């Protein structure tokens, strides 16, 4: 019995990241037939050499190639953006619902909408927040923060910057108009 651990480090002098991801799925499929009891996928932020930025997507690729291999996803929660986690999980849910791989879903979005699924979801959430801000009444206690939170924007500075890029004004100005 043994376990395998992947952090997907890809320094410039090593193999390309795509080759590492493919090899990880191949290794897990092989190891499952030889007594491997789990694969551990580690994630880290702030590393410039390809440290696994989204272990959930890699886990889905491995799960598609294995039958029963338990996958342990290790993340550093204070540094993991909960919205990114939800987006990764929703990508997997959408792909599973329509019986395609996450990569095929990304390809279809790129081909038909010229964007990625997560960018599309982020735009939809931003559009819904914009509509709520237009219809909000500050005298009833509606705030930019509460509307941003309702649509999954937990960092108000990032929300305001994205909003300004999309609509040419600030969320606060929209709320007051």
Per-domain residue ranges of the chain:
2-80, 117-176
* Predicted pLDDT of residue 20: 85
Q: For 14-33, give one letter per residue: b (16+ CB within 10 A) or e.
A: eeeeeebbeebbebbbebbe
Does the domain at 117-176 match CATH 1.10.10.60? Answer given as yes
Does 35 score more than 90 pLDDT?
A: yes
The proportion of the chain whose per-residue pLDDT surpasses 90, expressed as a percent, equals 31
* Distant-in-sequence, close-in-space partners of 9: CB < 8 Å, separation ≥ 6: 47, 49, 50, 51
* Predicted pLDDT of residue 81: 63
* Predicted pLDDT of residue 105: 81
The sheet with strand 36-42 has its strands ordered as 2-6, 36-42, 71-74
* Predicted pLDDT of residue 12: 79
Reported as a pLDDT band with limits 50, 70 and 90, residue 50 is low
Model-level pTM greater than 0.85? no
Reported as a pLDDT band with limits 50, 70 and 90, residue 84 is low
| Maximum mean pLDDT: which of 39-48, 76-85, 163-172 | 163-172
- The residue that leads in pLDDT, 54 or 37, is 37
Q: Which of 43-52, 62-71, 108-117, 146-155 has the lowest mean pLDDT?
A: 43-52
Kindly report the average pLDDT of the chain as a whole number.
Answer: 84
Does 109 score more than 90 pLDDT?
A: no
């Amino acid at each position: 019995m043994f376990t395998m651990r992947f952090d997907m480090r890809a320094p410039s002098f090593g193999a390309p990241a795509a080759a590492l991801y493919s090899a990880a799925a191949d290794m897990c499929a092989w190891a499952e037939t030889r007594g491997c009891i789990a694969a551990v996928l580690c994630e880290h932020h702030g590393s410039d050499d390809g440290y696994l930025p989204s272990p959930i997507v890699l886990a889905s690729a491995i799960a598609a190639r294995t039958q029963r291999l338990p996958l342990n996803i290790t993340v550093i929660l204070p540094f993991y953006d909960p919205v990114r986690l939800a987006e990764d999980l929703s990508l997997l849910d959408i792909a599973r619902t329509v019986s395609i791989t996450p990569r095929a879903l990304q390809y279809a979005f790129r081909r038909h909408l010229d964007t990625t699924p997560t960018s599309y979801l982020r735009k939809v959430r931003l559009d819904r927040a914009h509509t709520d801000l237009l219809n909000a009444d500050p005298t009833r206690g509606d705030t930019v923060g509460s509307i941003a939170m309702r649509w999954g924007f937990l960092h108000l500075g990032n929300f305001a910057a994205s909003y300004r890029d999309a609509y040419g004004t600030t969320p606060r100005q929209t709320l007051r108009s």
